[in-house]
Structure 1
Amino acid sequence: MGKNMGTLQQITLYIALCGFISPSSAFSWNNCTIRTPLKDIQPKVLCYKMGFFKIPLIPRNTRILDVSFNAFAQIQIGDFNQLSNLQELNISSNKISQIQEGALDNLSNLSHLNLASNRLQGISRGMLHGLTNLLVLRLDYNYIQDIEESAFSTLQNLKVLNLTKNHLYYIEKIKPVLASLFLEELYIGSNHFDAFYSYEMSTKPLALKRLDFSNNPLATFQLTDNVFPTLSHLDLSYCGQNGTMTWNITDKTFFTSVKTLYFMDVHMSGQNAANVIQSFKNFLNKIRLNANVQLNKTNLLLNACSSVLQVVRLSANKIKHLTDHMFDPCSNLTELDLGDNEISQLSPSMFRGFTQLKRLRLQINKLTRITNSFQMLFTLEFIDLSRNCINMLTCDDFANLTQVKTLYLYSNKISIINSCLFKDLKSLEVLNLGTNNLLRIGDAFSNGPHSLLDLQLHFNKLSKIEKYTFRNVSQLNILSLQDNQISIIEDHAFEGLNNLTSLLLSSNKISAKTLTKHYNVFSGMPNLKNLDLYVNGISFTDDQLKYPPFKDLKQLRVLALHSQRRGIGKIPSNLLQGLSSLEMFYAGNTNLAHLSPDTFQSSPQLWFLDLSKNALSEDHSIPTELFHPISKLTTLILSRTQLRSLNFLLNANLSRLSTLKARGNEIDSINKTLIQSLPRLEVLDLEKNTFTCDCTNAFFIDWAKNSNSTQVVYLNKYMCSYPSSLRGMSLSSFNTESCTLNIDFICFLCSTIVVIFTLLSSFIWHFLRFQVVYAYYLFLAFLYDSKKKQNGSTFQYDAFISYNNKDEPWVMEELIPKLEGEQGWRLCLHHRDFEPGRPIIDNIIDGIYSSRKTICLITRNYLKSNWCSSEVQVASFRLFDEQKDVLILVFLEDIPTHQLSLYHRMRKLVKKRTYLRWPKPGEDTKVFWQKLKMALETKEGHKSDHMMKL
């Protein structure tokens, strides 16, 4: 039943999604999410890494679908029904071994299809049928051995096909793909081709522009027809077999269009390699000769270089020495890559032949000095000397390099920079000195370079930034000082950086004292927009600061203070004073326990706030007033903050909030009022909270499933924590129908109950009213009796006299004088002993239970009195409850037994109890008074059944 209900819910949601999607819609269903601007009516749906065994239900207007890294074994007809708008489909990294013919027929608008990393063994005739607009098809990393002849006949617009890493052995197996007449890029590397004969592929010119043969054991390459007239990129890397390869090109003009050749780590002899390269000489613009360790580099260059060759890459060749004339054939190069070799020395003569060289890469070598090796490279614009062992730079190392714009010196052992180093670097814009041994900057930039825009000094050993250190590099846009040991920043340290937009000071030893000791720590940067201060030692104890550190940063947009090592403690109420343009504030992972309501008074433009990984568990840790100055907030991150509730958002007036992330907290319920207080919410992430699976969350569950304006991220991963019987169950599986109240049914039920109650009450009152009244008084007597037993009260009177007011003359003239006057009994009389103002029934009960006996003087008037009836009922209950002789019936008139039936069970009492009768006129009364005295003297524990009628 539960499974069927889940299926029904999926179908219902699918219908809702497919019916209509407004321009501002986002959704959550199954475990998929939608990542697309909400104004886009064709969403991007992400369902990767969800453990699906079949394609889930997808909105019909989806434009991009990613279902990679799941467990699909096959694609069946109907899996993509009604997805005619789909343009990109990623089904890679599954277990697909079969695609039914016609399963993709509905995807007529699909332009990109990724089937990589599956288990396909072949491409059948109808597998790809219907993909008339497909442009890119990835089939790499499968087990494809065969491709049927007409498999690609409908793919007339295909431009890119990747068949890398399959089980193709013969080049003729590739021929069917050429039915796609406009195919431009073909990747068939890492297969098992040991021979290439062009006639087996085609005898007609192909439209291919890029062809990848890499990682094939080619022993023969024969080109007899000009089938590649437009080919511009050819990859023959890692080809060859056992050091031999026959290269037969019947006409050298066949490769005139090839401009780029990848020829890395080929497995062939030097002569065969030379033959290959000769086929492209005078046409190539770019060649990659990386990792050809076994081949002679000079010979390779002699065969490759020409007047048109511009780029040569020789990285990872274990080159140790560069000869003076090694590059003479390549004098027209514009880029030379010698990275990842073993070069330890340079000399100016090595590069003297270059007249147009613009980019020189020497990274990952063993250089310790530069020794003015580049003085003849007047056209140089880019130098990469990173990841060497350079420990010293001299004033002439970059002499004459007036055109250099980018200089990489990171990951060396440089400890000192002299200002003369940059004297000729007039055009330098990017300087990376990160990961060195710099202890101080000093006057290194006192002479410029004046054109510098980006300065990277991260991962050094700087401890202090001195006054006016950077004022002569006033054009800087980015200054990176992170991962140093900076603890002191002098006043006006950044003065003159009028164009600086990003200052990175994270992972240092900056403290609150560093920022607040001086009044002008961050002065001189009027256009700063991004300031990173995370992972430092900033901690505050004061509620307000004397010198707010950011007061001069009027244009700052982003401030990062998260992850302080000892925790920030608190955020002073005026810490952000002056940041009138602040838009993004990061304060996560700072051990923050409370926020002042005035924190953001100076930052009305804030739209992004991250408070994640803090200890905000107290009820008033986040006051509602905190959000009143920042009504433009659109993104709020509260993940892992120990929150128990989000109720502080109820009156926060966050009418523009679109993204709320509060995962990993202790939130147990979300109510309707909270959701309604966030009218523009588009993304809600509450994963890993302690939800209660009961009716308090019924609204949230239904809303999360069916909302067409808010996407509840990974709803199916929300688990129940309470009650214990449901712990571990998915929150979305909780049946909310049991919480739904049907108003019509309730009205019907209520009216039915009222009618039945009215009829029943009338029946009872008409036929059983005496029994009801009797039961009522019995109940009152029971309560009083229980109370008396608990209190252990003693008797105040010997007898309670129950009589009708019309019989009062007999009581006053006969009973009282005899019992009180002559016999000395203490009697309780209602006209004398009842407490004025107290309810009569309370007086009756109190009088009866305060007396050892109750004497009922029965006459016809007595039987007609309601109060007398009450007294008899209470006395009879005491009789039944205590099982003692506490009731004495005295008949002052002769009353037939049948006339007692209507009077409160009097007949039953007379039948079960002995009673006394007042003598008729003229009869002696002495016996009566003697019997009454005996009845009063009888112990309560004795039965009175021995008494005789008189």
Structure 2
Amino acid sequence: MLSKYSSIEQPLQLVVSLKHWCPVCKIMADQLDLLLSVIFMASPMLGMSPCSSNGPIALFRHCNLTQIPWVLDTTERLLLSFNYISVVNTTSFPFLEQLLLLELGTQFTPMTIGPEAFRNLPNLRILDLGQNHIEVLSPDAFQGLPHLLELRLFSCKLSSVVLRDGYFKNLTSLARLDLSGNQIYSLHLHSSFQELNSLKAIDFSFNKIFPLCEGELKPLQGKILSFFGLKSTSLFSRVSVSWETCRNPFRGMWLETLDLSENGWTVDITGNFSIVIWGSQVTSLILTHHIMGSGFGFQNIRDPDQNTFAGLARSSVMSLDLSHGYIFSLNSRVFETLKDLKLLNLASNKINKISDGAFYGLDNLQVLNMSYNLLGELYNSNFYGLPRVAYIDLQKNHIGVIQYQTFRSLEKLQTLDLRDNALKTINFIPSISMVLLGGNKLADLPRVRFTANFIELSENKLESLSDLYFLLQVPQLQSLILNQNRLSSCKAVYTPSENLSLEHLFLAGNMLQLAWETGLCWDVFKGLFRLRVLYLNSNYLHFLPPGIFNDLVSLQLLSLGANRLTSLSPGSLPANLEFLDISRNQLFSPDPGLFASLSFLDITHNEFVCQCELIPFITWLNQTNVTLQGSPADIYCMYPDSLAGVSLYDVSTEDCDEEEALQSMKFSLFILCTVTLSLLLVTTVTFIKFRGTCFLCYKTIQRLVFKDKVQSSEPSAYQYDAYFCFSSKDFEWAQNALLKHLDAQYSSRNRLRLCFEERDFIPGENHISNIQAAVWGSRKTVCLVSRQFLKDGWCLEAFRYAQSRCLSDLKNVLVVVVVGSLSQYQLMRHEAIRGFLRKQQYLRWPEDLQDVGWFLSKLSGCILKEEKGEKRSSTIPLQTVTTIS
């Protein structure tokens, strides 16, 4: 199992190191080393069969064992967790001289460990018995282990007896002892602890040790311990303590790290404890998850004051961790006595106020962490008294305003972390080497003087590329991060940079496509001769501007992933490129010659068109020595549909040989189709352009051919061919546009007998009677629907009469002509017209004058066309409304 702690039998040489990046990163790197150590130790077990022994490793986890199995005498690691082994004694193990690690934790049954139970394991280095229910533990259980370095007895239900009765005597090599999570109530140590000269770390966390007074830890006096854990033990917080009689439990000891976190300490307990341990050397003091401070909106618990840590004046404390508490206000001179302090962690409190002189006395402080607090404004006096501070972490506050001189007096400041705040300006930035401003509200950058070699501005609101040009001109700048901004605007031509120091540039998650498609800012990377890493992924790029990478002669890694690139031009990539990410684009048939010089290529999840044009790339894919990211299934066809999702490695190219034989025929067909389409397009364009002239020619030819066939009006039962209904306000237009060209009384060339109100209605007769006579006395009724028509009640009444005749005759005798720029919405507002438009077609007066002749001919045909009656139906089908224009 992965134990609570991980140890390494031999030092691991790790390539990755962050220890010189910044003081805080050194701490993080130590944790990374430990994590990687666990991974490296576990890696030999990957692929092993369960319940088996393989060379130096014997893996028997979850095997339902009730006793120790037989293993090879060459075994170095024996892993027996999660079984049912209840008894361990001298005869349980064969003689395993090479065994270094024994993992016997988490047995599902109570365990009894007899005298000298591990004597047959003389070279054992790590013994893990954690998370067992040890019912019986012999005082001599660990005898015969002269080389044991680490003993894990966490969560074993052990009592204080194991400390008082000498259970750990003769373990002269023991360096780490873990007794956390047990039932230990007293730390009275047996005198044999004085003989444990190699002991460096001891952990009593998660026990219930209410008092701890002078004399209990006497066997440890004179020792230097790297770690002493008393986390979550309720120490001094659940009982009344007489500090005068209890006195200093750590007298004569030197503790590199003392963990007193999660004990519910108030300001009073902390102050009394610091006084009691006066003079004891504690390099790193951990007081996390405390209850010091009033919190936000409460006043019942005091914030630390000048006396809280006064007793630590002679303890040489270099690191103080007060994170995860309720401190609301940093009072004046609260840390005044901590002259040696180099790291102060105040993260995850409720700090909203920094009093003047709060950091007075911290002359040697180098790292200050105030992240995850409630700070809203910072003033010039907030950080007085920090002459040597090099790193200030203020991320995840609510800072929106910072006075101009707040950080400028800090002469040694190198790193300022203001990520995830609410800043809108950066005028306060001093001359430092690292600036972290991501996750703020910066919309533009004032032209302040930067001297940083690392600038982080991701997740802001920067839009103009002028800010990028400005930042690229910062001298000595080595790394610039502008991910997830809004860089999209290039309103002018800016002076390109010749930055000879920039090595890393991150521009992912912007909108550079919008800037480059204007043809501007194509020189943004000009002069970046030392740039080695460039991220341009997720920028909506459809193309790469020609020569955009010409000056990037040192570029080794380029990320173009998650864009919309369909192709890459030859020579578009830098010559020295080694790593290319072009995944999640829309590449159809990439040229394999572009990737020949690469060492690493990610081309997964593209939209490959698996046709014969892709043969060179498929051939290269199966033969290349370039390391390809992802599995073969991630490089697949998108088109045609028959191959969608098929890996390129599984695509056959045999059918493409016949394709080559048809290339000449395809070319001939291409030429023929091109000529035919060109002639058709020319003819169509000519007709559309001169359609009015073509119509006149057609009518002239028709008259010449059929000149002897004069159309005569057939005898008809109707007095008129059509009744033209229109608003009196539209009469002049109707007369010039229609009546003069259609009505026989206007010209002998016209053949239609038309009726309209201004001429044919009987004066003095009832207007309704005139309308009724005109509708029923005409073959068709033509309504010229205009804006005035829709306002004229008589016109709408005539429209209804015409609809009534349509229903009576069971045929369409109503022709609607829409005149002017009437929208469909304006027409549908009128109920009668809406019902007609839903079922019948209508005409629209043409906008182009050359279409008038054709329209008049079409209208005449509609008037003279004889409509056949239809049988009535209970339902009327909807017809398509055709607009003629």
TM-score range, shorter chain: 0.5 to 0.7
Deviation digits for residues 52-85 of structure 1 (CA, Å, limit 9, x no counterpart)? xxxxxxxxxxxxxxxxxxxxxxxxxxxxxxxxxx
Over the matched positions of the two proteins, sequence identity in percent amounts to 22
1 CA distance for matches of 2:575 and 2:584? Answer: 24
Q: Please say if residues 187 and 217 of structure 2, whose CA atoms lie closer than 8 Å, have aligned partners that are also in contact.
A: yes
1:897-908 alignment to 2 at 5 Å? none
The yes-or-no answer on 1:508 pairing with 2:440 is yes
Equivalent residue for 1:350?
Answer: 273
Change (3 A) 1:693 1:238: same
Equivalent residue for 1:360?
Answer: 285
Q: Quick one: which amino acid aligns to residue 522 of structure 1? A: R
2 CA distance for matches of 1:689 and 1:509? Answer: 35
Q: Please say if residues 418 and 443 of structure 1, whose CA atoms lie closer than 8 Å, have aligned partners that are also in contact.
A: no
Match for 1:557 among 470, 475, 478? 478
Equivalent residue for 2:310?
Answer: 375
Measured after TM superposition, the shift of residue 340 of structure 1 is 2.1
Q: Quick one: which amino acid aligns to residue 414 of structure 1? A: I
2 CA distance for matches of 1:616 and 1:161? Answer: 56
Measured after TM superposition, the shift of residue 632 of structure 1 is 1.8
1 CA distance for matches of 2:433 and 2:60? Answer: 44
The answer to which of 299-308 and 386-395 deviates more is 299-308
Change (3 A) 1:317 1:197: closer
Measured after TM superposition, the shift of residue 701 of structure 1 is 2.4
Change (3 A) 1:608 1:203: closer
The yes-or-no answer on 1:460 pairing with 2:376 is no
SS at match of 1:609: strand
The yes-or-no answer on 1:261 pairing with 2:181 is no
Measured after TM superposition, the shift of residue 573 of structure 1 is 5.8
The yes-or-no answer on 1:624 pairing with 2:546 is yes
2 CA distance for matches of 1:416 and 1:174? Answer: 66
Q: Please say if residues 693 and 723 of structure 1, whose CA atoms lie closer than 8 Å, have aligned partners that are also in contact.
A: yes
2 CA distance for matches of 1:142 and 1:276? Answer: 36
2 CA distance for matches of 1:209 and 1:742? Answer: 71
Q: Quick one: which amino acid aligns to residue 429 of structure 1? A: Q
Query: Which protein, 1 or 2, shows the higher relative CO under an 8 Å CA cutoff with sep ≥ 6?
Result: 1
2 CA distance for matches of 1:475 and 1:177? Answer: 61
2 CA distance for matches of 1:679 and 1:370? Answer: 65
What is the number of equivalent residue pairs in this alignment?
A: 597
Measured after TM superposition, the shift of residue 683 of structure 1 is 1.3
Q: Which runs of 5+ in 2 are unaligned?
A: 1-13, 16-37, 294-302, 665-885
Measured after TM superposition, the shift of residue 722 of structure 1 is 0.9
Q: Please say if residues 210 and 231 of structure 1, whose CA atoms lie closer than 8 Å, have aligned partners that are also in contact.
A: yes
2 CA distance for matches of 1:503 and 1:644? Answer: 37
The yes-or-no answer on 1:660 pairing with 2:580 is yes
Match for 1:291 among 200, 206, 221? 206
Q: Please say if residues 67 and 86 of structure 2, whose CA atoms lie closer than 8 Å, have aligned partners that are also in contact.
A: no
Q: Quick one: which amino acid aligns to residue 483 of structure 2? A: H
Q: Quick one: which amino acid aligns to residue 539 of structure 2? A: N
The yes-or-no answer on 1:729 pairing with 2:729 is no
Match for 1:586 among 487, 496, 506? 506
1:557-706 alignment to 2 at 5 Å? 557-564=478-485, 566=486, 568-570=488-490, 574=494, 577=497, 579-593=499-513, 594-595=515-516, 596-617=521-542, 621-645=543-567, 647-648=568-569, 650-652=570-572, 654-671=574-591, 675-706=592-623
Change (3 A) 1:529 1:163: farther
The yes-or-no answer on 1:113 pairing with 2:44 is yes
Measured after TM superposition, the shift of residue 282 of structure 1 is 6.0
Change (3 A) 1:224 1:341: closer
Change (3 A) 1:721 1:709: closer
1:387-402 alignment to 2 at 5 Å? 387-402=324-339
Deviation digits for residues 358-390 of structure 1 (CA, Å, limit 9, x no counterpart)? 211111111102223222213111100011100
SS at match of 2:127: strand
Q: Please say if residues 189 and 217 of structure 2, whose CA atoms lie closer than 8 Å, have aligned partners that are also in contact.
A: no
2 CA distance for matches of 1:448 and 1:399? Answer: 10
User: TM-score, normalization: structure 2?
Assistant: 0.61
The yes-or-no answer on 1:494 pairing with 2:429 is yes
Q: Please say if residues 655 and 678 of structure 1, whose CA atoms lie closer than 8 Å, have aligned partners that are also in contact.
A: no
Q: Please say if residues 504 and 533 of structure 1, whose CA atoms lie closer than 8 Å, have aligned partners that are also in contact.
A: yes
SS at match of 2:170: helix
Match for 2:368 among 409, 431, 437? 431
Q: Quick one: which amino acid aligns to residue 510 of structure 1? A: L
Equivalent residue for 1:941?
Answer: none
Q: Please say if residues 160 and 184 of structure 2, whose CA atoms lie closer than 8 Å, have aligned partners that are also in contact.
A: yes
Measured after TM superposition, the shift of residue 439 of structure 1 is 2.3
Measured after TM superposition, the shift of residue 424 of structure 1 is 1.1
Measured after TM superposition, the shift of residue 548 of structure 1 is 5.0
2 CA distance for matches of 1:348 and 1:240? Answer: 33
SS at match of 1:358: strand
Match for 1:716 among 620, 630, 633? 633
The answer to which of 554-563 and 140-149 deviates more is 140-149
Deviation digits for residues 473-511 of structure 1 (CA, Å, limit 9, x no counterpart)? 222221101111110222xx334x3xx322100011111
2 CA distance for matches of 1:720 and 1:183? Answer: 53
1 CA distance for matches of 2:339 and 2:488? Answer: 47
Equivalent residue for 2:684?
Answer: none
Equivalent residue for 1:522?
Answer: 449
Change (3 A) 1:149 1:290: closer
1 CA distance for matches of 2:561 and 2:399? Answer: 34
What RMSD, in angstroms, separates the aligned Cα atoms of the two structures?
3.7
SS at match of 2:455: strand
Q: Quick one: which amino acid aligns to residue 308 of structure 2? A: S
Q: Quick one: which amino acid aligns to residue 713 of structure 1? A: G
Q: Quick one: which amino acid aligns to residue 688 of structure 1? A: H
The yes-or-no answer on 1:539 pairing with 2:473 is no
1:202-281 alignment to 2 at 5 Å? 202-204=118-120, 206-222=122-138, 223=140, 226-240=143-157, 253-266=169-182, 268=183, 270=185, 280=193
Deviation digits for residues 69-125 of structure 1 (CA, Å, limit 9, x no counterpart)? xxxxxxxxxxxxxxxxxxx99998xxxxxxxxxxxxxxxxxxx62149x872x33xx
Deviation digits for residues 393-430 of structure 1 (CA, Å, limit 9, x no counterpart)? 22221112110000001111222324522221111010
Q: Quick one: which amino acid aligns to residue 537 of structure 1? A: K
1 CA distance for matches of 2:231 and 2:524? Answer: 54
Q: Quick one: which amino acid aligns to residue 577 of structure 2? A: L
1 CA distance for matches of 2:80 and 2:493? Answer: 61
Deviation digits for residues 880-910 of structure 1 (CA, Å, limit 9, x no counterpart)? xxxxxxxxxxxxxxxxxxxxxxxxxxxxxxx
Change (3 A) 1:607 1:568: same
Q: Please say if residues 115 and 139 of structure 1, whose CA atoms lie closer than 8 Å, have aligned partners that are also in contact.
A: no
User: TM-score, normalization: structure 1?
Assistant: 0.57
1:313-324 alignment to 2 at 5 Å? 313-319=229-235, 320=237, 323=241, 324=243
Equivalent residue for 1:886?
Answer: none
Deviation digits for residues 246-276 of structure 1 (CA, Å, limit 9, x no counterpart)? 899788633343342211121x474xx7688
